[in-house]
Amino acid sequence: MIEKLKVKPTNRYRNNAKAIGIGNTFWDNSEHHGLAGIVADLQRGRLYTQEGHSFVNFSCCSYLDLDSHIQVIEGAITALRKFGVLDHCIPRTRVQIPALLELEASLSELFEAQVVSAISASVATSGILPLIASGHLTDDERPLMIFDKNCHVSMQQVKPICADETEIVTCSHHDLDFIEDQCKLYERVCYICDGSDSLGGYAPVKELTQLQECYGLYIYYDDSHSISAYGKRGVGYVRSHIDCLNDHTIITATLNKAFGASGAAILLGDRSRETLRIIERFAGAISYSQPMNIAAIGACLASADIHRTKELHTLQYKLQSKIALFDSLVPTAQAGSTFPIRLVPAADSEVITLGKLLFEAGYYVSPVFFPIVARGTAGLRVMMRTGQTDDDIRGLAQVIINNRLLSEVAK
């Protein structure tokens, strides 16, 4: 019998065998200890399992709790009634009802940018990065694409596709010297990074803008974590630090975290009608997959309206006071940052046990570990929200302190 051939993977930009090999054990362990696979009803800010356990979620990204805001809920319902359809299924390039245009106009005004929508930030990224790679968004010249080592998985995922269109390279976190060196070597360069990291820390926007001025560097920021929670009218960290969005910068942000709705916004500078058509027609799933549905659009319009009122500022202020309260009780490396996430470090071997203790006491905090975060930086990711009461925060802090996580925290 002839022996059949086996394929040889190249694994140049991704390696499932490795990622699953390491990550799945931890997931199994989490689930085994009741810290994953939880099913619970949400009632007035608390979660209730079928078994009768109730807890407060300290790992939810809806930082301003806009997702349960009455106006956002009503916005979804009103839009459904007004347009009378959930999604009139046909690519928008051919026929569309005006709802999405209304939303894009509203978001363009809010974020002072030309906004194109997508059903998620991941879909936006998977559509836009390949167009950057092929030079269609970088003045008809393929750029060297520099991916930040820590950029979100939604960007990492697209590496193999980009690598088929252009040269790609990965740099260490915010390595400005490396980026500048490449700008000296290559005609075109595009840097890809998060505007705000999921474990705190912001992109060096000022320094990167200088590189843009010196070398014409292109930048793709994913600012999903700071939109709404940060900046005047919730424009996010990156947009707050750029006076006028130029055609060398693209900012993508999910509308599913602090914005409290669904979908994503791609913030562009002044782009030509032709370029916008290229995005609509060729940006991967943005063109061939479903657009945002009417309920999502209505919720987004309502959330955008809240962003224009003083209420947004009040909510942002409230969030900061919750963060400050937590910081006053539990010191972490992120203390003092405006960012709503804190990492309480714990050894890989302990993080599940600690998460379980907290859960039993009525607080869900997700354990994070490689490959979600870098190796050796496991811990509990505490996320603050406006909807948590001061008592919730004090109670959580007490359990953390009682269990002496603090010996680890100090480092």
Ligand X SMILES: *Cc1c(COP(=O)(O)O)cnc(C)c1O
Dihedral class, residue 404 (left if φ above 0, else alpha if ψ from -120 to 50, else beta): left
Record the tokens describing residue 88, joined without a space.
């009139």
Rounded CA-CA distance 383/386 in Å is 10
Rounded CA-CA distance 395/332 in Å is 17
Q: What is the DSSP track for 124-152?
A: HHHHHHHHHHTTTTTTTSPPEEEEETT--
Least CB distance to ligand X at residue 160 (A): 18
Least CB distance to ligand X at residue 256 (A): 5
The answer to whether residue 264 forms part of the interface with ligand X (CB under 6 A) is: yes
The answer to whether residue 121 forms part of the interface with ligand X (CB under 6 A) is: yes
- Name every residue whose Cβ is closer than 8 Å to that of residue 390 and which is 6 or more positions away in sequence: 322, 325
The answer to whether residue 122 forms part of the interface with ligand X (CB under 6 A) is: yes
Q: How many residues bind ligand X (CB under 6 A)?
A: 14
Please, which residue, 204 or 362, has the CB nearer to ligand X? 204
Percentage helix, strand, coil for the chain under 3-state DSSP, each rounded to 5: 40, 15, 40
Least CB distance to ligand X at residue 361 (A): 27
Least CB distance to ligand X at residue 103 (A): 15
Per-residue string for binding with ligand X, 224-243, x by CB under 6 A?
Answer: xx------------------
Applying CB under 6 A, the span of 78-86, 114-122, 126-134, 318-326 interacting with ligand X comes to 114-122
Residue 17 host element (H or E) = helix 16-32
The answer to whether residue 209 forms part of the interface with ligand X (CB under 6 A) is: no
The answer to whether residue 120 forms part of the interface with ligand X (CB under 6 A) is: yes
Rounded CA-CA distance 373/379 in Å is 9
Least CB distance to ligand X at residue 173 (A): 14
Query: Facing residues of 42 across strands?
Result: 47
Dihedral class, residue 384 (left if φ above 0, else alpha if ψ from -120 to 50, else beta): beta
Which among 279, 242, 253 has a CA at the least distance from the CA of 136? 279
The answer to whether residue 152 forms part of the interface with ligand X (CB under 6 A) is: yes
Rounded CA-CA distance 21/41 in Å is 32
The answer to whether residue 156 forms part of the interface with ligand X (CB under 6 A) is: no
Least CB distance to ligand X at residue 9 (A): 26
Q: What is the DSSP track for 26-89?
A: HHHHHHHTTSSS--EEEETTEEEETTS-EEEESS-S-TT-GGG-HHHHHHHHHHHHHH--S---
Measured CA distances, 207 to 176, 177, 249, 400 (Å): 8, 11, 14, 38
Least CB distance to ligand X at residue 122 (A): 3
Applying CB under 6 A, the span of 88-96, 116-124, 226-234, 307-315 interacting with ligand X comes to 116-124
Least CB distance to ligand X at residue 110 (A): 17
* Binder of ligand X out of 154, 303, 386, 388 (CB under 6 A): 154
The answer to whether residue 128 forms part of the interface with ligand X (CB under 6 A) is: no
The answer to whether residue 148 forms part of the interface with ligand X (CB under 6 A) is: no
The answer to whether residue 62 forms part of the interface with ligand X (CB under 6 A) is: no
Rounded CA-CA distance 277/165 in Å is 20
Please, which residue, 331 or 371, has the CB nearer to ligand X? 371
Please, which residue, 55 or 220, has the CB nearer to ligand X? 220
Please, which residue, 158 or 400, has the CB nearer to ligand X? 158
The answer to whether residue 293 forms part of the interface with ligand X (CB under 6 A) is: no
Least CB distance to ligand X at residue 155 (A): 7
**Binding stretches for ligand X (CB under 6 A):** 120-122, 152, 154, 194, 198, 222, 224-225, 254, 256-257, 264
